[in-house]
């Protein structure tokens, strides 16, 4: 009463009940949800929507050309559509830790006990899902413009396209996240990776082609020459290609975790 101190025992922070630390999995999904909401904001993501629209517009022009070589469809999808998907993953993946540090102290305070794993894994999940959604819309748009032409996509090739988008998004997200973790100029190194490793080494240097997502994507989407659309690789080549893309995704995530263990956020 009248502002006099309480006669009870003094209060201490030790009396507070603090929430238990999140597990690695729970913290990763918490970070995933945070970033996915951020990525789905049109004000932030509209450049990536436009980038995914470009292959659809390109396929509309391709459908009107009097071409008689179905191999151009596979080349178009691999070199144009999948490059657009890779650029989306590049723009979203290389800034993972810089953006997390700039986003404020709250995510770090909430996830710090598990940040070394939660930050890269949560961001990888968010970038992968976002790029998969963009790629899925892109595939539907491309196939719709080719419908009714001599190169209408068969159901079997459509499955290959979907697999290329899903597993390609996983691989590119992991690779570019690792590049952003290890190099300050992540965008420059990422573009260098696309040019040197993904474009040149994937076709010219067989021993290094396994480091390139494009090497495995080619096994999924390349088509044979001729007047009918047919995949260049047989179905037994698909499991190896998918495992290769998963391996690149895993290597990227592990490399990012190792980088954070060397320099923990908030330390």
Lowest-confidence segment of 16-25, 27-36, 172-181, 237-246 by average pLDDT = 16-25
Between residues 53 and 59, which one has the greater pLDDT?
Answer: 53
Percent above pLDDT 70 for the chain: 75
pLDDT for the residue numbered 266? 47
* Apex 224 CA angle, 218 and 226, nearest 5: 155
Alpha-carbon Rg of the chain, whole angstroms?
23
Highest mean pLDDT among 18-22, 153-157, 199-203: 153-157
pLDDT for the residue numbered 132? 95
Summarize the confidence of residues 33-62 as an average pLDDT.
84
Per the structure block, which two tokens stand in for 199?
A: 């474009």
Q: Are 161 and 68 in contact (CB under 8 A)?
A: no
Per the structure block, which two tokens stand in for 51?
A: 């980038």
CA distance 247 to 124: 14
Summarize the confidence of residues 155-165 as an average pLDDT.
89
Between residues 127 and 37, which one has the greater pLDDT?
Answer: 127
Summarize the confidence of residues 13-31 as an average pLDDT.
61
Confidence of residue 229 (pLDDT cuts 50, 70, 90): low
pLDDT for the residue numbered 15? 47
Per the structure block, which two tokens stand in for 28?
A: 């990763």
pLDDT for the residue numbered 248? 94
């Amino acid at each position: 009463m009248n502002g006099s101190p309480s006669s009870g025992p003094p209060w201490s922070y030790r009396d507070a009940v603090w929430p238990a630390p999140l597990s690695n999995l729970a913290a990763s999904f918490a970070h995933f949800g945070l970033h996915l909401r951020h990525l789905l904001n049109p004000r932030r993501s509209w450049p990536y929507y436009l980038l995914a629209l470009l292959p659809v517009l390109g396929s509309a022009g391709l459908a009107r050309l009097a071409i008689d070589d179905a191999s151009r469809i596979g080349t178009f999808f691999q070199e144009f559509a999948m490059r657009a998907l890779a650029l989306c993953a590049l723009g979203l993946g290389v800034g993972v830790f810089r953006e997390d540090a700039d986003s404020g102290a709250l995510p770090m305070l909430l996830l710090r006990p598990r940040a070394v794993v939660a930050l890269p894994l949560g961001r990888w999940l968010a970038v992968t899902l976002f790029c998969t959604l963009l790629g899925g819309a892109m595939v539907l748009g491309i196939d719709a413009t080719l419908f009714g032409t001599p190169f209408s996509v068969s159901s079997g090739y459509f499955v290959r396209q979907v697999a290329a988008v899903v597993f390609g998004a996983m691989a590119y997200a992991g690779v570019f996240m690792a590049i952003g973790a290890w190099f300050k100029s992540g965008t420059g190194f990422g573009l260098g990776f696309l040019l040197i490793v993904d474009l040149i080494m994937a076709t010219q240097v067989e021993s290094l082609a396994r480091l390139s997502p494009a090497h495995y994507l080619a096994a999924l989407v390349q088509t044979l020459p001729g007047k009918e659309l047919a995949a260049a690789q047989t179905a037994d080549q698909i499991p190896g290609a998918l495992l290769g893309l998963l391996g690149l995704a895993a290597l990227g995530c592990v490399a990012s975790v190792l980088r954070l263990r060397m320099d923990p956020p908030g330390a």
